[in-house]
Structure 1
């Protein structure tokens, strides 16, 4: 990791142990407190956790990988080899599963980088919502946000209630995360950053661990809608939101 965890007496080994599920509850709390303060580090850790979940799914899939896919995967594997060796459960880096993993990594690379920030900040927002010590900030002043960050947010449906609004740093610009709750009790977040990314103009949805995220771009603004619904439902919701 390039973003080294130097505060709260936390090392890279502690972060690795957290990803591997080797820490007790007290130490996990310390790590999660650090992640709630450092979105950039949280994005990297969440990416590792998503990779581990993918590895578990691959380990349960015994179907053979077609030869042409295995050959293509060999071209992707070297650049990722050392990273996935640490995350790979013992005995799993073999033949077809290694090829499937490499192809999975290659597919993820086509998702704009800001989507990782969106997913990580969503999980942090959900964590904050469940912690009594973390105070949510539901007040949203669109003019103040636009004047200071040049971020423009879509118009929300009438049955959506804002529950939290937070600014998050990214590598290129500040981003805004807005947590919302619908009348049906669905909890989602909208992530917005003023950056001309490679996101499509119409929303595209992908699965990231336990969440789905739909991402799109409007001019110089890039957006992501994250929630627990299936990608298809999240995509439909984002389509309606993007039209506003």
Structure 2
């Protein structure tokens, strides 16, 4: 819990990416127990990111999306909180974009489908790299594995809550890795057949709630999702992509 109360200015700064990491964690902890506020903040973050993408997509088609976005911004600006970040983006960004339209005649600014269907977030690459590292460690006699760990201690030290280990699976090793927004955690696992998997948890610096989905990375697959300020990825063989997705659904439910 934050020692200082979370004020409106903190929420504005959070949306505007102006908080130091420790205060971001405190704001996210506050949002985690205030779902109504969390929903509004997530909506503001989405609106901010959509406008940023609109202004940076050079060949995005159609002015209709821009007009719709402007109407949504106007509605957002009428909210009680009147976020500073939206005021700046609406006053400057939209009119700059409209100026581009007037200058080009038809200069479309809608989001391309290829952009909208974004690639997996960067933490998935981190999870795959951590998994490959754990495989390397398991083959080295000099690297002692640490199968025993205290989830409460991990939570206290990293602010990352780990889901329950799938039934029938065993923990082989637990490692803490650095990341841009604090430490991340990788739990090396073996399923019932002895196949190597890993569960990776990280605070990516955003607050979102997403359902598990899967992606391939060479001979590996990852099922990834985010619950509030913490993101997770379950990594294993590419041939088990569907099974990983199902296991990730169960892990996500265990966190509630």
Shorter-chain-normalised TM-score: which range?
0.5 to 0.7
Q: 1:238 to 1:133 in 2, by over 3 A?
A: same
Q: 1:199 to 1:143 in 2, by over 3 A?
A: same
1:111 maps to which of 105, 113, 120:
120
Whether contact under 8 Å (1:197, 1:222) holds in the other structure is no
Q: 1:198 to 1:149 in 2, by over 3 A?
A: closer
Q: 1:155 to 1:131 in 2, by over 3 A?
A: same
How far apart are the structure 1 equivalents of 2:176 and 2:145? 12
1:233 aligns with 2:240: no
2:232 maps to which of 213, 217, 223:
223
TM-score by structure 1 length? 0.53
List per-residue Cα deviations over 1:140-186 (Å, max 9, x = no partner): 11111111111100011231111000000112221000011122212
1:214 aligns with 2:223: yes
Instruction: Give unmatched runs, 5+ long, in structure 2.
Output: 1-58, 60-113
User: What RMSD, in angstroms, separates the aligned Cα atoms of the two structures?
Assistant: 2.6
Q: 1:198 to 1:113 in 2, by over 3 A?
A: farther
Instruction: Give unmatched runs, 5+ long, in structure 1.
Output: 1-74, 76-104
Deviation at 1:107, TM superposition (A): 9.3
Q: Which has the larger radius of gyration?
A: 2
Q: 1:164 to 1:108 in 2, by over 3 A?
A: farther
List per-residue Cα deviations over 1:198-234 (Å, max 9, x = no partner): 8762111010011000100111110000001432221
Deviation at 1:194, TM superposition (A): 2.4
Runs of 4+ in 1 over 3 A off after TM superposition: 105-109, 195-200
Give the total of aligned pairs. Answer: 144
Whether contact under 8 Å (2:169, 2:192) holds in the other structure is yes
